[in-house]
Amino acid sequence: MNDLATYAENTWCPGCGNFGIFNAFKKAVKTLEEKGIGRDKIIISAGIGCHGKIFDYLKLSGLYSIHGRSMSTVQGMKIANPDLKVVAFAGDGDAFGEGLAHMMFAAKRNADITVIVHDNGVYGLTTGQFTPTSDKGFRGPSTPRGSIEEPFNPLALMLEAGATFVARGYPVKLNHLLNIMVQAVEHEGFSFVDVLQPCVTFNNTYQRYNKLVEILDHMPESYQEAMNFAKRTDKLPLGIIYKKEKPSFHTAFYGDWNPVTKRLSKQERIKRVRALLSP
């Protein structure tokens, strides 16, 4: 596995849920390679926050983006060269705060990208403020009396927006999570993986999640059933809750075109522009 790690010093807190996501993704890359998707074609991006450090730690090519934009970054990569498999890592602040519109629209247009949300319900790197997925009543430096807002439900949001692959994982169930990641990358269309990520320093949810998570024994058969699973609070179902085949954005948009590998030559462009310029 070390051949998938860089020399960057790891600065996640000991016990951080990010380690599980990191390890699961490295294993997922190995599995994808066995399936014929080379690591040279797996391109990553990340937002800003503790989750984003995964960009430095993974020995994979990509672009370390800015807060809330990694899903736009990878959509641009995919549109430019659809031969690439693109994965955006995002925090819950990235995905559902700063970058909510990008998430909704990536799902709406079924962009062929994978978004893995490190959903820990807290802004760790900026010292523990509440996020779009924090529980009501969450106390942090910006909400000393407790947050008065209800949290978003990421799975329900993405289902409603049109995501064609919606899943939830938990780093403690590492093999289960890696299997979700592999299928998410393989899926042609918008793949959303919400990872329940405990933050040992500011929002330690291990005990709660250990009690509540439950691996699904089957994938829900309908959109409605998927929505019901997404909205459950007595248990937190883990697994792929929804998957649908639908043409992805770039395929529906330009078929088998590839702006980079099929780029027209200068001569051809001159010819075509000259034709348009004839009076």
Contacting positions for other proteins (CB under 8 A): 6-8, 38, 40-41, 43, 45, 48, 53, 55-56, 59-66, 69, 72-81, 83-84, 101-102, 104-105, 253-254, 257, 259-260, 262-264, 266, 268-270, 272-279
Q: Comparing C-alpha atoms, which of 93, 101, 63 is closest to residue 80?
A: 63
| Residue 256 C-beta: closest distance to other proteins, Å | 13
Of 215 and 270, CB closest to other proteins: 270
Q: Which two tokens stand for residue 238?
A: 């883990």
The distance between the two most distant Cα atoms of the chain, rounded to a whole number of Å, is 73
Q: Which is nearer to other proteins, 38 or 137 (CB)?
A: 38
Query: Which residues, in sequence order, are bridge partners of residue 242?
Result: 166
Nearest to 27 by CA among 167, 163, 185, 166: 185
Q: CB of 259 within 8 A of CB of 80?
A: yes
Closest distance of CB 67 from other proteins, Å: 9
- Nearer to other proteins by Cβ, of 55 and 138: the residue is 55
Nearer to other proteins, 132 or 239 (CB): 132
Question: Nearest approach, Cβ of 23 to other proteins (angstroms)?
Answer: 20
Q: 3-state class of 74 per DSSP?
A: helix
CA distances from 207 to 11, 18, 148, 213 (A): 23, 16, 24, 10
Shortest Cβ distance from residue 141 to other proteins (Å)?
23
Report phi then psi at 116, rounded to 5. -110, 115
Min CB(43)–other proteins separation in Å = 6
User: Which of 61, 224 has the CB closer to other proteins?
Assistant: 61
Residues in the chain: 279
